Amino acid sequence: DLREAIQKEQFLLYFQPQVVGEGRLTGVEVLLRWQHPQRGIVSPVEFIPLAEDTGLILPLGRWVLKTACTRLAVWAARPGMAHLTIAVNVSARQFKHPNFVEEILAVLADTGANPQRLKLELTESLLVDDVEDIIAKMNVLKAKGVGFSLDDFGTGYSSLSYLKRLPLDQLKIDQSFVKNILTDPNDAAIAKMVIVLAESLGLTVIAEGVELNAQRDFLARQGCHAYQGYLFSHPLPLEAF
């Protein structure tokens, strides 16, 4: 089914706003959905692992990047939208592919998207092996203006010594910490640590899964002013966004 879905382009991107302060829109994260002819909209949680295991994440990831960059180019021509950034999730397997950098550069050139508006979300699972190669690839893209955010930060294999060597722009506080930030002192402590760490490393920080004003206020008091979550908006199809 998945193989066929890629051929038939049965996918669409949802757009979830990223905001600063009281809700000023700065960009979006694009989240993949499978529009299955029988099942309806299928969540990426259900098919991304399969796509990774089968290698289908490569053509699928290319489609996501092409679609996102096409959108950036459209927005660049619209007053009021030209400043928006698009964050794209990139699987470890996709990033490690030998042609990844060339492919991104080709997509940017073909679509005319401004690399400064593209942000790649990487996860810590990328850092398990061959970190030198990862850093080299990031540096090439970074030199073109592409930004990097470290997704789900704190949930996986975090090596703080690698962190200072990666050319990152942003740490993303995982939603599992935000969820219980008001009730669980450990989650609150981890969130605070990520914010302080980002600040000391000269990175920006964004919190995901922000559903309550009280969570936002707590994060703001700790120095985190960029947010994503249902408090501001669910992920939306393009028209609704």
d(CA 97, CA 81) in angstroms, rounded, equals 32
d(CA 114, CA 84) in angstroms, rounded, equals 11
Q: Within positions 90 to 129, which residues make up the interface with Ca ion, using CB under 5 A? A: 121
175 is an interface residue for ligand C2E by CB under 6 A: yes
d(CA 73, CA 115) in angstroms, rounded, equals 10
Q: Are strands 226-228 and 11-20 parallel, antiparallel or unpaired?
A: antiparallel
For residues 45 and 77, which CB has a smaller minimum distance to ligand C2E in the complex? 45
Residue 99: which of ligand C2E, Ca ion, none does it interact with, CB under 5 to 8 A by kind? none
Select from 17, 115, 147, 235 the one that contacts ligand C2E (CB under 6 A).
Answer: 235
Select from 43, 99, 116, 139 the one that contacts ligand C2E (CB under 6 A).
Answer: 43
Burial letters 108-146, b for 16+ CB under 10 A, else e: beebebbbebbbbbbbbebbeeeeeebeebbeebbeeeb
Is the Cα dihedral 123, 127, 133, 138 positive or negative?
Answer: positive
229 is an interface residue for ligand C2E by CB under 6 A: yes
- Give which of 199, 135, 201 is closest to 167, Cα–Cα: 135
Select from 67, 85, 89, 222 the one that contacts Ca ion (CB under 5 A).
Answer: 89
48 is an interface residue for ligand C2E by CB under 6 A: yes
Q: Within positions 86 to 105, which residues make up the interface with ligand C2E, using CB under 6 A? A: 89, 91
CB 37, min distance to Ca ion, A: 27
Instruction: Give burial (CB, 10 Å; 0-12/13-18/19+) of 99.
Output: exposed
152 is an interface residue for Ca ion by CB under 5 A: yes
197 is an interface residue for ligand C2E by CB under 6 A: no
Q: Is 173 helix (H, G, I), strand (E, B) or coil?
A: strand
50 is an interface residue for ligand C2E by CB under 6 A: no
Q: Within positions 134 to 163, which residues make up the interface with ligand C2E, using CB under 6 A? A: 151-152
* Interacting residues toward ligand C2E by CB under 6 A: 16, 31-32, 43-45, 48, 64, 89, 91, 151-152, 175, 208-211, 229-230, 235
Binding site for Ca ion (CB under 5 A): 89, 121, 151-152
